[in-house]
Amino acid sequence: MKKQQLKKTIMGIDIGGTKIACALVSSGKLASPVYTARTPRGEKILSVVSKFYEQFSRKYLISGVGISTAGMVSDHGRIVGSTGNIPGWQGTKVKEILQKKYRLPVVVENDANAAAYAEYQIGSARGANPLLMITLGTGVGGGVVVNGRLVRGAHFAGGEIGHIKLSYTKQRRCTCGRYDCLEAYASGNGLLALIKHYFPDKYKKISTRDLFRLARLKNKSSIFAIRAVEDWHFYIALGICNLFQVFDPEKIVLSGGLSEEVNINYLVKETGKLLLPALSKSVRIEKSRLGNNAGLLGAALLASQSL
């Protein structure tokens, strides 16, 4: 069977803590359905990548591979700082292994960075300079694009905004082992910690979904849920304020599972209150248009530039 050749056909892959998503991307658009698989431990992830490659390469001529992954990624495509959600992943020389195996250009990028780049190129913040993207979910991450380039940093930690400090009271422990990071307050677990703090006996087993549902009722039984959601918005605003004073972004994009629950107008208002008066009317926040595909699309876009 003759293989199909699309213009710069890239295999885009997004490696998360629970699943791996993969699709073909051409000219910044999905050129195939998005297929998923469970995320195994450590280097077994590369076996899943290989299965996807074999599946697509039977029908298509693949020009390159773009991978977005949780964790800190070096310039050489090695996982130098992993997330606890993917045990055994740290230290894996992803780019070196896959390039040697397939003899194709391979680009490996942090997932939030890749998503930010996709938003800059084809999403909600096309051409915004600077662009700040914040991911809200189980954890809090982010990416920064300045003059069209990702801010990776000297130690590959650019955009690790979930671990900026909001306090020094040692009040809330973060997944990184330290205290009072933005992630400890603005993540899903951070939100649940707020409601449990206000009413520990009643809300021991509540989920984020149920908490937001309860807050929307706006009655006497939901007073603590409403307060928790309002305070959650405040902590997000506080994080944005700190970042705004550093990067002065033209636009801020929110992504991740919890971003759908954000009241943008309220968040803009709260952020404006915290900023310098001269900046209070300059806050522009939007939700992602690319959704869960932003990471693999961004990785594919970065890979296409290497061709």
What is the CATH number that goes with domain 127-288?
3.30.420.40
| Euclidean distance between CA atoms 22 and 69, whole angstroms | 12
What is the CATH number that goes with domain 10-116+292-305?
3.30.420.40
pLDDT digits (tens, 9 = 90+) for 179-204: 999 999 999 999 999 888 877 777 77
Phi and psi torsions of 170, nearest 5°: 55, 45
| Residue 20 φ/ψ region, left for φ over 0, alpha for ψ in the -120 to 50 degree band, beta for the rest | beta
What percent of the chain is predicted at pLDDT more than 90?
Answer: 74
Q: What is the mean pLDDT of the segment spanning 17-33?
A: 94
Q: What is the pLDDT of residue 199?
A: 75
Q: What is the mean pLDDT of the segment spanning 67-89?
A: 86
Which of 152, 161, 151 has the alpha carbon at shortest distance from 182? 161
Task: Please list the residue range(s) of the chain that carry CATH number 3.30.420.40.
Answer: 10-116+292-305, 127-288
The string of DSSP letters for 136-188 reads: ESSSEEEEEEETTEE---TTS-TT-GGGSBS-SS--SB-TTSSBSBHHHHHSH
Q: What is the pLDDT of residue 249?
A: 97
